[in-house]
Chain A
Amino acid sequence: SQQGEEDPQALSIQEGENATMNCSYKTSINNLQWYRQNSGRGLVHLILIRSNEREKHSGRLRVTLDTSKKSSSLLITASRAADTASYFCATDRGNEKLTFGTGTRLTIIP
């Protein structure tokens, strides 16, 4: 069963705007990770946030984690055409495996 569920399933925004994607999960976690997948390619790791962290930044990415609500959000600021991709959250429960959500498909309109 899926541990993570992303919302929305698809998102289209104008270039330069901010994009926010959300992830909800079901059980306690050690950390939560976000990945990006360009069309026809493998997933690429973006950022990891541990269960004892509430917010983390990396370049134009900002991730928040609310363990009480079992949810996370990924914010991409000042979006670019190259950000067009699918984004997945993945949860690590410390059992040697990552469980992925179903993804958000982001389209940046030039």
Chain B
Amino acid sequence: DAGITQSPRHKVTETGTPVTLRCHQTENHRYMYWYRQDPGHGLRLIHYSYGVKDTDKGEVSDGYSVSRSKTEDFLLTLESATSSQTSVYFCAIRLNLDRGGGNTIYFGEGSWLTVV
């Protein structure tokens, strides 16, 4: 258990409201990720972080911002939620368990967001 906690796990919000999802880890992993999962699209990377205050965009970053002010927390913010952002959001951390340099990902349990 890599100790990832996502909150909230379920949320319904109205179009135009801001929403923040939190990912908390307990094991000091450097890399953290936010993915969204939608039918027919699989998982798509929104943003990721490679250290405190170090973040970068993924393939679907428009409409999202992130912050990482301390190692254990990675926040995903929807500044003004839209119906197209209704999705399941997964936080993940990178585990370097392979001595050959292959990195695997450990996922949280997901946050179900509905924008009405």
Is A48 within 8 A of B102, CB to CB? yes
Interface residue from A43, A48, A90, A96 paired with B90 (Cβ < 8 Å): A43
For chain A, residues 69 to 93, give those with C-beta under 8 angstroms from any C-beta of chain B.
88, 90, 92
Number of residues from B at the complex interface, CB < 8 A: 28
Question: Would you list which residues of chain A between 11 and 60 have a CB under 8 Å from chain B?
Answer: 30-31, 33, 35, 40-45, 48, 50
Q: Tell me if B64 is interfacial: C-beta within 8 Å of chain A.
A: no
Bound Cα distance from A88 to B90, whole angstroms: 15
Q: Establish whether residues B106 and A97, one from each chain, have CB atoms under 8 Å apart when the complex forms.
A: no
User: Are B48 and A96 interface neighbours, CB within 8 A?
Assistant: yes
Do residues B31 and A2 form an inter-chain contact, with CB atoms below 8 A? no
CB <8 Å contact, B107 and A43: yes
- A97 cross-chain contacts in B, Cβ below 8 A: 33, 45, 48, 58
Q: Is the C-beta of B72 less than 8 angstroms from some C-beta in chain A?
A: no
Determine the chain B residues whose CB is within 8 A of the CB of A48 once the complex forms. Answer: 98, 102, 104
Q: How far is the CA of A41 from the CA of B107 in the complex (A)?
A: 9
Q: Which residue of B lies closest to A48 (CB)?
A: B102
**Does the CB pair B98–A42 fall under 8 Å?**
no
| With A88-B42, A96-B31 as contacts: A43 and B105 at CB distance below 8 Å | yes
Is A67 engaged at the interface, CB distance under 8 Å to the other chain? Answer: no
Q: Which residue of A lies closest to B90 (CB)?
A: A42
Q: Interface readout for B12-36 with A: 1 if CB under 8 Å, 0 if not?
A: 0000000000000000000101010
| Given A40-B110, A88-B43, 12 other A-B residues pairs in contact with their CB atoms under 8 A | A2-B42, A42-B109, A42-B110, A43-B105, A43-B107, A45-B104, A48-B102, A96-B31, A96-B94, A97-B45, A98-B45, A100-B35
A-B contact pairs, 24 of them (CB 8 A): A1-B59, A30-B102, A31-B102, A33-B102, A33-B104, A33-B105, A35-B105, A42-B107, A42-B108, A43-B105, A43-B107, A45-B104, A45-B106, A48-B104, A50-B100, A88-B43, A92-B103, A97-B33, A97-B48, A98-B45, A98-B103, A98-B105, A99-B45, A103-B42
Interface residues of chain B, those whose CB is within 8 Å of chain A, are 31, 33, 35, 40-45, 48, 50, 58-59, 90, 92, 94, 98, 100-110
